[in-house]
Structure 1
Amino acid sequence: MLPKINQVLHIQINSIDEDESMQEYKSRISDITADYMEIEVPMNERTGRLKRLFQGDELSVYFLTEGGMKNFFMSTVLGIRDNEFRTVLIRKPAEESITKVQRRSFLRVPAELDIAASLGEQVRFTGVTDDVGGGGASFICEGNIPVKIGDALSCWLLLISRNAKPEHIPFKGEVVRTKALESGRQQVMMQFSEISDKDRQKIIRFCFERQLEIRKN
C-alpha cells in the first residue's frame, strides 16, 4: 500500500551525526506524481522547529495505517520547490519496497550476529545472537555474567545485510528472561526499550531477507 495525499509521514535523516540521525520529523504529503511525492517542510516533533533538507539527503520514512500498522520505506530528496509555500520533493517508493510491520507482532528469525553489551558502568561483555527481530533479540554469552530479569543493557549489534555494508546498530534492551545452558553459558532474552525507527527498520529488513534465505534452503 502506497501513502496517499494528506498522509502524515514520520521522517529520520540518514546522517553520520548520531544526534541528527536520532531526531524524528513529521511532514504531510501535498501531492503525488508517478516519480515523486511533494511534502511539506518537515517539523521536529520534539522542538516544533522546521528542518531544512537538501537535495541528495537520504531519508528513513514510515507512515501509519489502520490498526497501527507501520509502513517503512527509504527515500531521497530530489529537490526543493519554492512556490507560495516551500515544499520538498522526495523519491516515490516502489510499492514492493515498503515493509509493513504490525506494531505488536515483529517477525523473529534465527541469526548468529555479534553483539556487545554493557550492564551499568562496570560490566561489559560480548555474545552471539541466536535470534533477532524488530522487537528484541536473544543471545548467548558466558554464564558468569551477572545478568538478571529486568536489567537494562546498552548494546551494539553487528548487522550484516545481504546488499549493504556491515553496520553497528545501537539500542537499549530490557532483559525479560535468562536460561542456564548445559555448556556453562547462558541465553539472555531481551526486548528493545530504546531504538531509533531507522535502526529498527534495518533490523526488520534483515529479518525479511533472512526469512527468504531460510525458505530457499
Structure 2
Amino acid sequence: MLPKVNQELFIQVASVDKEEEKQQYKSRIADLDENCIYMEVPIHVGQGKYLRLYKGDSLSIYFLSDSGTKNYFHSEVVGFKEDNIRLVSITMPDPGSISQVQRRNHLRVTAELEMSLRISDDLHFLAITKDLSGGGTAFLCDGHLPIEPHMRFDGWLLLPFRNGAIEHAFFKGEIVRLNQLESGRKLGMVSFTDIADVERQRIIRFCFERQLENRKK
C-alpha cells in the first residue's frame, strides 16, 4: 500500500541530536509521481514550528491506512520545488519496504555489525552479524560456545548511521537455527521475539540507508 495525495505523513528525522530525533512532525502529500513524493514542509506536532530539511536527510515516516494501521517506511530528501507553496521532494518507497507493526517480511540487507547476546549470567558473548532486517539477523560466533537452537537471550546491536551517529538497538531474541561451519565457527539465525517499536524502526532505518548505499555502487 503506497501513500496517496492529501494523505497525512508523520515524520521523524535522523539526527546526531538525540532530542531532535525524538521530535515528531506532520505533513501532507501535495503531489507524487513514480519516483518521488512531494510533501508540504513538515510542521512540529504540538509546537507548530517548521522543520528545516536539507538534501540527503534521512526520514522515518508513517501514514495511517483507512483501518487505522500505521504503515512505516524510510525515505530521503532529494530536493525542493515551488508550486504556489514550497514542497519537499522525498524518495517514493518500494511497496515491499513499507512495514506495518505486525508484519514480519522486512527488508534484509548484508551487514557486518557487532551484536551482544546475553543468554544467562554465565553466558554472554559478542557476535558479528552477516545480514539484518527488522525481524531478525544472521550472525557468526566462535564454535566452542555452548549455544543451541531455541535459546532465548537479551541482545543489542551497534548501528552506525550515515550521519555519523552510532546507536544501540535493544531487543529480546531467540536462536531459531544453528549450523556448524567448516571453519569451526557457528552460523546462527535469530528472530526478534520482543522489541520496542522505536528499536525496530531504528534497525529498519539502518537497513534503508544500507540499501541506498548499495544502489549507488
- Would you call these one fold, judging by a TM-score over 0.5? yes
Aligned-partner SS, 1:203: helix
167, 170, 173: which one aligns with 1:172: 170
How far apart in 1 are the matches of 2:205 and 2:98?
Answer: 9
Aligned residues: 194
Contact 2:106 2:134 in 1 (8 A): yes
C-alpha deviations, 1:64-97, integer Å up to 9, x for none? 3648543431237969xxxxxxxx9552224367
How far apart in 2 are the matches of 1:64 and 1:126?
Answer: 37
Aligned counterpart, 1:83: none
C-alpha deviations, 1:157-197, integer Å up to 9, x for none? 457xxxx6887452112221265544364625131714263
* Superposition deviation, residue 127 in structure 1: 1.9
Contact 2:134 2:201 in 1 (8 A): no
1:189 pairs with 2:190: yes
Alignment of 1:33-52 (within 5 A): 36-39=38-41, 41-43=43-45, 48-50=46-48, 52=50
Mind listing any 5+ residue stretches in structure 2 that lack a counterpart? none
* Superposition deviation, residue 102 in structure 1: 3.8
TM-score calculated relative to the size of structure 1: 0.62
Query: Per the alignment, do residues 61 and 108 of structure 1 end up closer, same or farther by CA in structure 2, a change over 3 Å counting?
Result: closer
How far apart in 2 are the matches of 1:14 and 1:207?
Answer: 16
How far apart in 2 are the matches of 1:208 and 1:54?
Answer: 22
Contact 1:14 1:59 in 2 (8 A): yes
Contact 1:71 1:101 in 2 (8 A): yes
Contact 2:113 2:159 in 1 (8 A): yes
* Superposition deviation, residue 156 in structure 1: 0.8
Aligned counterpart, 1:206: 210
Q: Which moved more, 1:150-159 or 1:112-121?
A: 112-121
Query: Per the alignment, do residues 102 and 179 of structure 1 end up closer, same or farther by CA in structure 2, a change over 3 Å counting?
Result: closer
Aligned-partner SS, 2:5: coil
Identity fraction in percent: 12
CA RMSD of aligned residues (A): 4.5
Aligned counterpart, 1:27: 26
How far apart in 2 are the matches of 1:133 and 1:197?
Answer: 10
Aligned counterpart, 1:136: 136
Aligned counterpart, 1:151: 153
* Superposition deviation, residue 28 in structure 1: 3.5
Alignment of 1:35-74 (within 5 A): 36-39=38-41, 41-43=43-45, 48-50=46-48, 52-54=50-52, 56=54, 58-64=57-63, 66=65, 68=69, 69-74=71-76
Contact 2:113 2:128 in 1 (8 A): yes
Contact 2:75 2:92 in 1 (8 A): no
Counterpart amino acid of 2:171? G
Query: Per the alignment, do residues 145 and 203 of structure 1 end up closer, same or farther by CA in structure 2, a change over 3 Å counting?
Result: farther
1:13 pairs with 2:9: no
Contact 2:139 2:189 in 1 (8 A): yes
Aligned counterpart, 1:91: 88
Aligned counterpart, 1:82: none
Query: Per the alignment, do residues 114 and 93 of structure 1 end up closer, same or farther by CA in structure 2, a change over 3 Å counting?
Result: closer
How far apart in 1 are the matches of 2:64 and 2:16?
Answer: 30
Aligned-partner SS, 2:98: strand
TM-score calculated relative to the size of structure 2: 0.62
